[in-house]
Amino acid sequence: MPPLHLVWRNLTKRKARFLLTAGSLAIAIFLLCLLRSLVVALDAGVKAAAADRLIVQSKVSLFVYLPQSYGPKIASVEGVERVMRWNWFGGYYQDPSNFFAQFACDQDELQAIYPEIQLVDGEWDDFLRDRKACIVGEATASKYGFKVGDSVPIIGALFPKTDGTTWDFRVAGIYKSIKKNVDDATLFFHYKYLENALDSGEGSGPAGVGIFVVKMAPGSDRTEVMSRIDALFEQGPQVVQTTTEAEFQAQFVSMIGNVPLFVSSIGGGVMVAILLAALNTMLMAAREQTRDIGVLKALGFGDGVVAGVLLWQSLALCACGGGAGILLAAATEDPVAKMLGTVFPGYEVTSATLWAAAGATLFVGLVAGVGPALRARGLSVIDALRRTG
């Protein structure tokens, strides 16, 4: 074991360099945690998807609407217990920057098909009774200050009102999801409200159903149910594709590009950058300490101990910087989650992410330190003492 007080003094000898390198490590490790947490948030919906739910969509594209008549037909398929229409509304609250998801859905089916949606304020019955009622996720409610009884005017971008006014919803409940496949940022409202407005000409927009959400009967074979639904509409007018909820979530994530690959690429770049920063610092430190290395060897310290002085410096440097980054990531979890809010719901810095960051820190420490350490180990006493600075 090298003299640890010597390790620490050498490390902090040039305070500005130490602070700058440790600071850059802290920021880089924080960024790694942030990026990984975003990927985890994206994957959370896929992982938490219900096994007994299926999604029926157009085989052509998610943006091609299905005929209303498909609903009863799907409901008649053996193994199907419940069917719910589900349309992306695509509106915004007051300003386009106030983005959160709104879905029109069959209100009577929502609670039965999505038992993970649980009201923390308000009443289901109140939601079901009033056609203009909606329920809002607590993240969105908290962000915009919505309370039960409030009126929420939404400007329809995909479904504009023909007279240019807003769609007015009354908050009947605030919900929280107990599983990550449903976020806490969405506004759900009555499908009938949208349907009637389109039928009466009060609103305009694409006719038809975005997707059908199917809840399977207990004990039914998923593959068979999916095949039966697909076979039902093989001859059109719209060919459908039935997928599991997990596949649908994964497809939805992939629509915004290969995010995990993109984020991993950025993470890889960050890793290389911090590795170079740490390596540069350690190479400078090793050069400056060459004579000290010679002195230690002359005094009788073994090659391994002398190499350890540099390796431990590298590990200590990375532990300081990486540790600060990890602490920062853990400490800012709530503020960052609030900031990302409805854009990236489900942001969470998991313990797996923190361990991965610790592993990355250790890796950088070892790689940055091993070169200078090996050089110190192989240096002869005479050569080391001959160095002047």
Structure-block tokens of residue 76: 């008649």
CA dist 252 and 267 (Å) reads 23
Nearer to another protein, 104 or 384 (CB): 384
Cα dihedral 82, 199, 70, 92 sign: negative
- To which H or E segment does residue 161 belong? none
Q: Does 10 bind another protein (CB under 8 A)?
A: yes
Does 223 participate in binding another protein (rule CB under 8 A)?
A: no
Nearer to another protein, 127 or 312 (CB): 312
Is 5 among the residues that bind another protein (CB under 8 A)?
yes
Q: Which is nearer to another protein, 214 or 293 (CB)?
A: 293
Q: Does 287 participate in binding another protein (rule CB under 8 A)? A: no
Q: Answer yes or no whether residue 382 interacts with another protein by CB under 8 A.
A: yes
As given in the structure block, the two tokens for residue 308 are 């350890």
222 binds another protein (CB under 8 A): no
Nearest Cα to Cα of residue 89 among 134, 41, 51: 134
Told to check if 298 binds another protein by CB under 8 A, we report: yes
Taking each helix axis from N to C terminus, what angle separates 333-340 and 15-47, rounded to the nearest 10 degrees?
60
**Is residue 381 part of the contact set for another protein (CB under 8 A)?**
yes
Among 173, 294, 322, 345, binds another protein (CB under 8 A): 294
Q: CA 63, CA 230: separation in Å to the nearest integer?
A: 18
- Nearer Cβ to another protein, position 164 or 300? 300
Among 134, 296, 315, 318, binds another protein (CB under 8 A): 296
308 binds another protein per the rule CB under 8 A = no
Q: How does DSSP assign 97-130, residue by residue? A: TS---EEEE-HHHHHHH-TTEEEEEE-HHHHHH-
What are residue 131's phi and psi, to 5 degrees? -60, -30
Q: Does 366 bind another protein (CB under 8 A)?
A: no
Could you say which of 3, 23, 206, 208 contacts another protein (CB under 8 A)? 3
Q: Quick one: tokens of 326?
A: 């990890």
User: What's the closest the beta carbon of residue 143 comes to another protein, in angstroms?
Assistant: 52
Q: Which is nearer to another protein, 44 or 373 (CB)?
A: 373
Alpha-carbon distance of 7 to 13, in angstroms, equals 10
364: its two tokens: 């950088």
Is residue 380 at the binding interface for another protein, with CB under 8 A as the rule? yes
Considering only CA atoms, give the Rg of the chain. 29
Number of residues in contact with another protein, rule: CB under 8 A?
Answer: 22
Q: By CB under 8 A, which span of 125-133, 297-305, 314-322, 331-339 interacts with another protein?
A: 297-305
**Nearest residue (CB) to another protein, 12 versus 332:** 12
Q: Pairing relation of β-strands 187-190 and 167-177?
A: unpaired
Q: Which of 115, 302, 339, 359 binds another protein (CB under 8 A)?
A: 302
CB of 365 to another protein, least distance (A): 20
> What is the CA 279 to chain-centroid distance, rounded?
31
Q: How far is CA 46 from CA 51, 137, 256, in A?
A: 11, 19, 15
Q: Does 387 bind another protein (CB under 8 A)?
A: no
Query: Is 374 among the residues that bind another protein (CB under 8 A)?
Result: no
Which residues touch 289 (CB under 8 Å, ≥6 apart)? 10, 309, 310, 376
Residues that bind another protein (CB under 8 A): 3, 5-6, 9-10, 13, 291-292, 294-303, 380-382, 385
